[in-house]
């Protein structure tokens, strides 16, 4: 783990491998450990895996604003510190919201987007309820929410423990605000600004999320969509081999 100071906050990150850089953006509270199963990609690519402000090992001073815009700006500033002019952004779940924001507002810095479980807006009952439950649960018990998320992401007891322990480091207020910011997000009217190549992965059982694939197919000119069969939303951890294989195939196409 390495640490860099951005806007008076200590941002923790891992920087492994070499080659074209891929920056990973995690969902609320989960931190960089959720991408543990993507680390084989470091055999071919440079992986930068940060804990967003106030989550995992990154600090939060209790004063600065928490927003999608701020998260995105922190990623750009991290790129500046690491002297990365352009990167592929890999976002998972609500991390895909920040990923889309980067593609819309910083196109000159983005090589391509990879999103696992992409949605442009939280406008269906199940997805909205899931976010609202997250806001409620983090106020009541960080330990309970961490346990639920860890169990849903893996059957491996060691990995489950590592996920939970890392989530327990996250600031509850930041975690909750990340959910709230995701609830407010809507990029439907700006999605056409994303002109770079995009790979979206969905679990075939997560209908309340993968329903948005039709919207993306209509509006993104350079899009590839892949469905992981017989799996729900947590495919980066539960079906990592397939996710990584498809990601490598997509990234190889960028080189051609």
Our count of domains for the chain comes to: 1
Helical pair 157-167 and 142-153, crossing angle rounded to 10 deg: 150
* The predicted structure's pLDDT at residue 190: 96
The model's confidence at residue 255, banded by pLDDT at 50, 70 and 90, is: confident
The residues, any chain, with a CB within 8 Å of residue 142's CB and separated by 6 or more, are: 29, 167, 168, 170, 172, 175
**In the chain, alpha helices (H):** 68-81, 95-105, 125-140, 142-153, 157-167, 172-184, 207-210, 213-219, 235-238, 240-255
Q: Give the N- to C-terminal CA distance of the chain in Å, as an integer.
A: 33
Read out DSSP for 185-215? -B-TTTGGG--S-EEEEEETT-HHHHTTHHH
SS3 252: helix
Check if the beta carbon of residue 96 is closer than 8 Å to that of residue 72.
Answer: no
Q: What's the rounded mean pLDDT across residues 209-214? A: 94
Q: What percent of the chain has pLDDT over 90?
A: 91
Q: Look up the domain containing 86 and give its range.
A: 2-255
Structure tokens belonging to residue 234: 């947590």
Q: How confident is the model at residue 7 (pLDDT cuts 50, 70, 90)?
A: confident
This prediction's pTM:
0.96
67: left (phi over 0), alpha (psi -120 to 50) or beta: beta
Q: What pLDDT is stored for residue 256 in this prediction?
A: 64
Label residue 63 by pLDDT band (50, 70, 90): confident
The string of pLDDT tens digits covering residues 134-193 is 988 898 999 999 999 999 999 999 999 999 999 999 999 999 999 999 999 999 999 999
Residue 199, φ and ψ in degrees, nearest 5: -115, 125
CATH number at residue 34: 3.40.50.1820
Distance in angstroms (rounded) separating the CA atoms of residues 39 and 16:
8
The 10s digit of each residue's pLDDT in 93-122 is: 999 999 999 999 999 999 999 999 999 999
């Amino acid at each position: 783990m390495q640490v860099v100071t951005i806007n008076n906050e200590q941002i923790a990150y891992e920087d492994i491998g070499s080659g074209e850089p891929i920056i990973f953006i995690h969902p609320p509270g989960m931190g960089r450990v959720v991408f543990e199963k993507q680390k084989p990609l470091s055999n071919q690519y440079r992986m930068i895996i940060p804990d967003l402000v106030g989550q995992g090992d990154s600090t939060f001073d209790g004063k600065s604003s928490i927003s999608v815009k701020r998260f995105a700006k922190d990623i750009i500033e991290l790129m500046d510190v690491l002297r990365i002019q352009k990167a592929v952004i890999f976002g998972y779940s609500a991390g895909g919201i920040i990923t889309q924001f980067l593609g819309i507002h910083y196109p000159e810095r983005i090589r391509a987007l990879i999103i696992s479980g992409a949605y442009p807006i939280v406008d269906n009952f199940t997805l909205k309820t899931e976010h609202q439950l997250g806001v409620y649960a983090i106020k009541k018990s960080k330990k309970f929410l961490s346990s639920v998320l860890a169990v849903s992401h893996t059957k491996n007891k060691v990995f489950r423990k590592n996920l939970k322990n890392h989530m327990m480091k996250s600031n509850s207020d930041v975690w909750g605000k990340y959910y709230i910011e995701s609830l407010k997000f809507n990029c439907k009217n700006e999605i056409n600004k994303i002109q770079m190549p995009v790979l979206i992965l969905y679990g075939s059982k997560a209908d309340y999320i993968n329903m948005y694939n039709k919207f993306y197919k209509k509006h993104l000119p350079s899009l590839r969509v892949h469905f992981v069969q017989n799996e729900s939303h947590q495919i980066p951890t539960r079906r990592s081999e397939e996710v990584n294989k498809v990601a490598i195939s997509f990234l190889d196409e960028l080189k051609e």
